[in-house]
């Protein structure tokens, strides 16, 4: 088991990374990120998701035009689109696939690989670019790459006494 203090420190140290080195990520490490996604919990264990590994630079470039606050995706050596499969679990596909994204981000951080959740994007255009259909929910596309430059300073978090209630 992981030392709990170390684990909490690890969670606190993870940062969103928006600048990547032009350096390939070994297959073994990509596979570990995918494995972390695969082992995510899901409602009734239905695993309503699919992961699209995007290595093609032209595709990354095209996606960057529709990722409004994520143009930096074009500099990443790879990205993974996390797709919620609506038909597999219409009620929970979004929550389940969101949990996948967190597992993948933490695995990447353990590998010293940077990533950043991309929210605002033209999902319809990006779905078209990567060949998804109407029953696929494009949750996000996570860029992955070795960190370029300094690790950003932490964004502040609300103190526990502002967000925790005990009843």
Residue numbers at the binding site for ligand FMN (CB under 6 A)? 15-16, 18, 69-70, 116-120, 155
Least distance from ligand FMN to the Cβ atom of residue 103, Å: 14
Instruction: Decide if 83 contacts 49 (C-beta within 8 A).
Output: yes
Nearer to ligand FMN, 155 or 167 (CB): 155
Question: Which residue's Cβ lies closest to ligand FMN?
Answer: 119
Least distance from ligand FMN to the Cβ atom of residue 154, Å: 6
Least distance from ligand FMN to the Cβ atom of residue 45, Å: 24
Q: What pairs with residue 83 in β-bridges?
A: 50, 138
Nearer to ligand FMN, 67 or 132 (CB): 67
Which among 2, 1, 10 has a CA at the least distance from the CA of 105? 10
Residues 6+ apart with CB under 8 A from 6: none
Which among 80, 95, 83 has a CA at the least distance from the CA of 135? 83
């Amino acid at each position: 088991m992981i030392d709990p203090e170390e684990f909490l420190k690890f969670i606190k140290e993870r940062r969103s990374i928006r600048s990547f080195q032009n350096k390939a990520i070994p297959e073994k490490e990509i596979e570990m990120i995918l494995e972390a996604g695969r082992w995510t919990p899901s409602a009734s264990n239905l695993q309503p998701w699919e992961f699209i590994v995007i290595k093609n630079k032209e595709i990354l470039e095209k996606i960057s035009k529709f990722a409004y606050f994520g143009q930096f995706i074009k500099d990443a050596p790879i990205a993974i689109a996390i797709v919620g499969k609506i038909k597999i679990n219409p009620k929970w596909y979004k929550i389940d696939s969101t949990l996948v994204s967190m597992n993948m981000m933490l695995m990447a951080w353990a590998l010293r690989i940077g990533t950043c959740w991309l929210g605002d994007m033209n999902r319809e255009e990006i779905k078209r670019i990567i060949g998804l259909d109407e029953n696929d929910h494009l949750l996000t596309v996570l860029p992955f790459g070795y960190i370029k430059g300094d690790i950003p300073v932490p964004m502040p978090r609300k103190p526990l006494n502002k967000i925790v209630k005990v009843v």
